A and B are shown apart, each in its own frame.
Chain A
Amino acid sequence: MQPTSELAGSVLKARTFGSMGTVISLTVPARALGTAAVPGTAGGGERELDAAAAAVERVFARADETFSLYRPDSEASRLARGELSLRAASAGMRDRYADALSWRLMTEGAFSPERPDGVLDLSGIIKGYAIGQAGAALRSRGITDWCLNAGGDVLVMGSPVPGSGAAWAAGVVDPLDRSALLSAYGLGGPGTRWALATSGSAERGDHIWTAGSRGVEFAQVSVAAADIVTADVLATAIVAGGTAMLHRATDGWDIDVLVVRRTGELLATPGFRA
């Protein structure tokens, strides 16, 4: 874990915008941006960052238009109202639905694309999917060092100090004191985990439905994985499925997990151990 203060000579530049009811932040080392590091031509790097952020924003806007249930005109809302059948839905909608169903199988029902009232709600998988797509858009623009944060779910590539191999340091919020960090985790760099997602039982939205009638065991679950959809879905599934799902997840996937129980006690895989 390399603190920012020791990231010699590396300046990070960030852009933020709102989408899907949350805030998305793109952070890039200035050195990774074309001419930004050359004195007197800083404007070029800023423009490159603006263009990259715009590309990311387009990805999220497209996902939001199609999949958001709070937009009455979205394809998801028309499906929910029964005006559209899945068979007549777009290929993207059907693909995400298929993904969500396969996650439901793999998590033995702890993750589900259907609300208890039967309405199809893919929001549990769409944000992770959009983050992954945005990452692909950044790579296709030739940007190889970046950190993308969408409402607390993080995907990185490269390093905050281009070429150094240093990991991006991601803090995990303490659910009992949201102004403090509970822990930290090194993403990317020498490791093979580029994604970190956190789910909470008190979180916004309704896409976590607990399996069974008993109360939620975990206040917050963070999962580090190679890809953001796996991290996001498993974090959601572990909050919903409790201890049994936690063990299934750590046995079945190459992940690190940090759990905060409702009582405040912690459970962690070795990767989170100091």
Chain B
Amino acid sequence: MRTRAAVSAALASAGILIAGWQSGVHIADSSSAVASAATGTAGSTGMGTGTGTGTDDSTASSGSSGAGTTGAAGASAKAVGTYAGSVVQTRFGSVQVQITVQAGKITDVTALQLTDAERKSVQISNRAAPLLRDEVLQSQSADVQTISGATVTSDAYLNSLQAALDAANL
């Protein structure tokens, strides 16, 4: 019984090790994939400037400019630098992402370009941000057709704005 327990414990450990190794490989794969994706945009048209300002730690290439050197930097595990992606259309407008790579890992992701249709810079996410009262959409009760508020009881309804609107439309 003890032997069997030891064997299964060993097998379990091996399993964890393998899983860890595999996920490590996966991370390495994905980071190089991202780096080469950034490289791929260097030749693209439009706003996608795809500039790699990367300086390669390795002696293989001095990061002059252009896709080739960026590619070398991306493939190298020692690569350090910043890489710009292509311009992608999203529901927030045009987005261009810049990544910073150190020792083959992405250490920072920033938005280089983020504009709406009028080319104004916009908030990247749909997160709720602090606003002043006069910065939200305003309206007078005379100009709305319905009222949203925390649940109104039948009693409280009597004196509510919604009741006034309903009475006007009866």
Say whether B130 faces chain A, with CB atoms less than 8 Å apart: yes
Chain B: interface residue total (CB-CB under 8 A): 43
Partner pick for B130 among A4, A199, A267, A270, CB 8 A cutoff: A267
Partner pick for B146 among A27, A197, A246, A266, CB 8 A cutoff: A27
A5 and B139 contact, Cβ closer than 8 Å, known pairs A12-B169, A16-B166: no
Distance, CA A199 to CA B154, complexed state (A): 17
Say whether A22 faces chain B, with CB atoms less than 8 Å apart: yes
Distance, CA A83 to CA B127, complexed state (A): 45
Distance, CA A204 to CA B163, complexed state (A): 18
- Chain A residues within an 8 Å CB radius of B151: 22, 151-153, 199-200, 203-205
Measured CB to CB, the nearest residue on chain B to A25 is B166
Q: Mark A185-208, 1 if CB is under 8 A from B, else 0.
A: 100000000001111101111000
Q: Which of B18-26, B41-49, B68-76, B118-126 has 4 or more CB atoms under 8 Å from chain A?
A: B118-126
- Chain A residues within an 8 Å CB radius of B168: 14
Find out whether the CB atom of A272 lies under 8 angstroms from the CB atom of B127. no
Measured CB to CB, the nearest residue on chain B to A223 is B148
A184 and B137 contact, Cβ closer than 8 Å, known pairs A4-B142, A149-B146: yes
Distance, CA A4 to CA B143, complexed state (A): 5
Partner pick for A182 among B127, B133, B143, B153, CB 8 A cutoff: B133
A23 and B163 contact, Cβ closer than 8 Å, known pairs A3-B142, A203-B151, A251-B125: yes
Say whether A43 faces chain B, with CB atoms less than 8 Å apart: no
A contact residues, range: 35 or more
Find out whether the CB atom of A21 lies under 8 angstroms from the CB atom of B127. no
- Chain B residues within an 8 Å CB radius of A168: 145-146
Say whether A96 faces chain B, with CB atoms less than 8 Å apart: no
Say whether A181 faces chain B, with CB atoms less than 8 Å apart: yes
Partner pick for A273 among B127, B131, B142, B170, CB 8 A cutoff: B131
Find out whether the CB atom of B145 lies under 8 angstroms from the CB atom of A147. yes
Distance, CA A273 to CA B116, complexed state (A): 15
Say whether A178 faces chain B, with CB atoms less than 8 Å apart: yes
Distance, CA A214 to CA B128, complexed state (A): 22
Find out whether the CB atom of A172 lies under 8 angstroms from the CB atom of B127. no
Say whether B6 faces chain A, with CB atoms less than 8 Å apart: no
- Chain A residues within an 8 Å CB radius of B133: 182, 266
Say whether B140 faces chain A, with CB atoms less than 8 Å apart: yes
Q: Which residues of B contact A (CB under 8 A)?
A: 122-123, 125-154, 157, 159-163, 165-166, 168-170
- Chain A residues within an 8 Å CB radius of B142: 3-5
Find out whether the CB atom of B130 lies under 8 angstroms from the CB atom of A269. no
Find out whether the CB atom of A22 lies under 8 angstroms from the CB atom of B148. no
Say whether A41 faces chain B, with CB atoms less than 8 Å apart: no
A-B interface, 6 closest residue pairs, ranked by CB to CB distance from nearest: A200-B150, A184-B139, A173-B149, A3-B143, A14-B169, A171-B144
Say whether A179 faces chain B, with CB atoms less than 8 Å apart: yes
Partner pick for B139 among A147, A183, A204, A269, CB 8 A cutoff: A183
Distance, CA A273 to CA B131, complexed state (A): 8
Say whether A131 faces chain B, with CB atoms less than 8 Å apart: no
Given contacts A4-B145, A199-B151, A250-B125, 4 further A-B contacts (CB under 8 A): A23-B163, A27-B146, A184-B137, A259-B128
Measured CB to CB, the nearest residue on chain A to B91 is A254
